[in-house]
Amino acid sequence: MLAAAEGGVVVDFGADGEDLFAYLHRTAGGFDLAAYRRLLGAGNEFKEGDQSEGVAAADDASRAAARELLANTRIGDLERQPVFTDAQSDYIAQAVDPEAARKLAGWTVGRLKAFLLESSEEQIKQIMPGLSSDAIACVVKLCTNDQLIAIGGKVFNPLPGSKVGARGYMGARIQPNSPTDHPEDIRWQVFDGFAYAVGDVVLGTNPVSSEVESVARVEQVLADILETFGIEDVLPHCVLAHIDVQAEVEQQHPGTTGEWFQSLAGVEDAARTFDISVDKMVRHAQSRDGRFALYFETGQGADATNGHGKGFDMVLHESRKYGLARALRQEAGRAQQRAGRAAAPWVHVNDVAGFIGPEVFRNREQLVRCCLEDIVMGKLHGLTIGLDVCSTLHMEVDLDDLDWCVDQIMPACPAYLMALPTKNDPMLSYLTTAFQDHVRVREKFGYKVDDQMWRFFQSLGVIDNQGQPTKHFGDPAWVYLQYRRKQGDSRAEAEILAEAREQMANVRGRGVLLAEGYGGHPWELAPELDRRVRTLYEDSKQCIWAELSAPFAAAVPHAVPIRSQTEDRADYILHPPAGEVLDDASLQTVRRLRDRRSGDGRSESGRPAEYDVQLVISDGLNALSLMDKDHLAPYLTEVRQQLSEAGYRPAPENLLLTGGRVRAGYRIGEELFGSLPASKDARAVLHVIGERPGSGHHAFSVYITGQPAGAWAKPGVTDHNVTRVVSGIADTALPPATAAADTVRILKQLAPLG
């Protein structure tokens, strides 16, 4: 029988040849959707995310039994009984070739697996248009790691007109992030990548600010580099703001945007968390009629962590994201045809495999498994798929583990990896692949860089005609010299190089590391920089496990201490949902606070209730960021003053939340404002939270959620899609006073006063 035990899903071995549906009828007396989802999930390799969703196998025997049943199941039967349906799944399904699908309907999933292992790339590509996202997910469940590598190693979907994603090639997305969106930080990280002959997929910056003008400035910095070097038709750029913001930038500054980015979800409700829908994404895709079209990011576990796991497993969710990308690529191709061009858009996917944290998976073996699954699922959808082989700093994957993971994954041939000056991202504060990791992988596995960009790197003089490092290899100042010469700068070489050194010092002074030179081999970091990176990693562990001290709590003015439902620090790290809601005593504290305030939402004069802004302060993943001198106190002083000057009425109490996650702020807002009469009067929560350990800045963020009073009255509805964030706040990054001004400016946009 099939049972959901406390330790996981228990599956008994069925009769010979029995499939999923016969098993359910025999053991449950008929089809049961919840049991069906558990049975499909039990076929996965173990990951914490599936366990949290209640669909992970209890043991290896149950996993083997579930896989045997799945292998015996016909693809057509799977299609007739979808695990979940919504508007997004319907849209994904219409991108599958119906004639090709009919030919596969009688195949079992086991036969499909054998075909993928035994057939040539040409034969596999003949059936790929008929494979649904769910069928692809199911066949992946049956494969060992070695089998996934075998399939990934023979299916290639290069980007049109390039070698990105082709056999024998492995590309790089340079990720030039800055804690303050500073143009020099961004520009110099690109020069740094070019110095190591890295960067041939996209220059993609994650912006701190999603303001249209701020995003436009970053777009222009990236575009300027490409245009100066004359490679704007070879290498695109992208600012990873919300796709609506990118569209607005393009409307206001035509021709400045490159590829358009968006994170994707596996189900429609999770997509709403990103403030997207199928209709919206189709409209955007239909507007992309140039060569560089769309860049997507995905990752196992994102749907469940946003509260939309829907009772089915992460592999199925992830595959559906690739199905959505496939369908949107078709839209972009049709847009090109309407514009009189061939249907050959650059559309690619980056699987950000380890970005969420240990609640999805905890160790390096699970990270490798996830990456291999996703490579194969992406390739079988016909996509060019790259990887962010990464780890948040509270996972059990360290700097050296990442090298091991990359070595295990590379034989499966992802199209590209991330590329930063070091493994430590200076803005997002997570671990990923560095420029010199690319040098190492090229040397060890024989991978090449896209031919057009390789010729460009040779023209820069960082590699010679044989592809060997020159004396300028690893010298970003040399790349800057070439950049200035291209711009017509005729100053003496020594003067330009001195200017380069000064700018590099400024960048490093803002906490953005730059690689320069190398160690004993070209693929090794310089020893001093390697020590610096490891010091930051150790500091991140201190940040993660630190707790707010009693003296600090006592010094917070008008503090009202409250707690989430997390039991301790370990519980907070491993079980995020507990940090999203208050414990019973704290909930009562917030309700008593609400009741002491204007109960009916109006004063006798008819003005809105006395307080319209509530500040919440949470330790988050980085309590030290709040406790450092000149961090929280100046922010609180300045933001309260500016709120008052702008006409807002901030409540005097600061809710000091221990074990708080971002969503806890939304729930507090619902308690404080949800009982007010529905109106358009603004109510806001400013949630100050310690975040992103590992940058060395000990920076915190503020999540700004402002909306009409009536919008707070729907429990559980307020989420990230109505929230803006100011991040990287520290005395060494975004100054607290500046952050306070940014906070109030954004609040005026989100919740203007009537």
Residues 86-113 pLDDT 10s: 999 999 999 999 999 999 999 999 999 9
State the chain's mean pLDDT as an integer.
94
β-pairing verdict for 416-419 and 559-563:
unpaired
| Rounded Cα–Cα distance for residues 40 and 654 (Å) | 47
User: How far lies 566's CA from each of 197, 501, 526, 580, 659, in Å?
Assistant: 47, 48, 42, 9, 6
**Phi and psi torsions of 346, nearest 5°:** -80, 105
Residue 470, SS3 per DSSP: coil
Query: What pLDDT sits at residue 681?
Result: 83
What is the pLDDT confidence band of residue 598, given thresholds at 50, 70 and 90?
Answer: low
Determine the average pLDDT of the residues in 651-679.
Answer: 93
683 Cα distance to chain centroid: 29
Residues 485-524 pLDDT 10s: 999 999 999 999 999 999 999 999 988 999 999 999 999 9
| Rounded Cα–Cα distance for residues 583 and 563 (Å) | 6
In Å, the largest CA–CA distance within the chain is 84
Tokens of 85: 């349906």
User: How far lies 428's CA from each of 174, 182, 218, 494, 575, in Å?
Assistant: 14, 15, 17, 35, 21
Query: What pLDDT sits at residue 601?
Result: 43
Residues 423-482 pLDDT 10s: 999 988 899 999 999 999 999 999 999 999 999 999 999 999 999 999 999 999 999 999
The residue with tokens 């400013």 is 686
- Asked if residue 293 lies in contact with residue 345, where contact means CB atoms within 8 angstroms, the answer is yes
Q: For residue 476, what are the contacts with CB-CB under 8 A and spacing of at least 6?
A: 188, 191, 192, 194, 195, 500, 504, 514, 515, 516
Query: What pLDDT sits at residue 606?
Result: 45
> To 5 degrees, how large is the angle CA 501–CA 229–CA 473?
50
What is the pLDDT confidence band of residue 610, given thresholds at 50, 70 and 90?
Answer: confident
What is the pLDDT confidence band of residue 3, given thresholds at 50, 70 and 90?
Answer: low
Query: What pLDDT sits at residue 677?
Result: 77
Rounded (10°) CA dihedral 16, 22, 25, 30: 170
Query: What pLDDT sits at residue 95?
Result: 98
Tokens of 500: 């380069």
Query: What pLDDT sits at residue 710?
Result: 86
Residues 178-233 pLDDT 10s: 988 999 999 999 999 999 999 999 999 999 888 899 999 999 999 999 999 999 99
Q: For residue 78, what are the contacts with CB-CB under 8 A and spacing of at least 6?
A: 109, 132, 134, 135, 138
| Rounded Cα–Cα distance for residues 693 and 702 (Å) | 15
Helices 476-486 & 212-229, crossing angle to 10 degrees? 80
Is the predicted pLDDT of residue 306 greater than 90, yes or no? no
Residues 356-380 pLDDT 10s: 888 899 899 999 999 999 999 999 9
Is the predicted pLDDT of residue 171 greater than 50, yes or no? yes
Determine the average pLDDT of the residues in 640-668.
Answer: 97
Burial class (CB in 10 A: 0-12, 13-18, 19+), 720: middle
Query: What pLDDT sits at residue 604?
Result: 43
Is the predicted pLDDT of residue 600 greater than 50, yes or no? no
Determine the average pLDDT of the residues in 397-411.
Answer: 96
Give the Cβ contact number of residue 558 at 10 Å. Answer: 12
586 Cα distance to chain centroid: 32
Of 555 and 306, the one with more pLDDT: 555
> To 5 degrees, how large is the angle CA 61–CA 64–CA 70?
140
Query: What pLDDT sits at residue 608?
Result: 45
What is the percent of the chain where pLDDT is above 90?
87
Is the predicted pLDDT of residue 549 greater than 80, yes or no? yes
| Rounded Cα–Cα distance for residues 629 and 668 (Å) | 27
Residues 19-52 pLDDT 10s: 999 999 999 899 999 999 999 999 999 999 999 9
Percent helix, strand, coil in the chain (nearest 5)?
50, 15, 35
DSSP β-bridge partners for residue 582: 564
Burial class (CB in 10 A: 0-12, 13-18, 19+), 510: middle
- Asked if residue 499 lies in contact with residue 505, where contact means CB atoms within 8 angstroms, the answer is no
Determine the average pLDDT of the residues in 170-183.
Answer: 96
Is the predicted pLDDT of residue 754 greater than 90, yes or no? no
What is the percent of the chain where pLDDT is above 70?
98
Tokens of 669: 């807002």
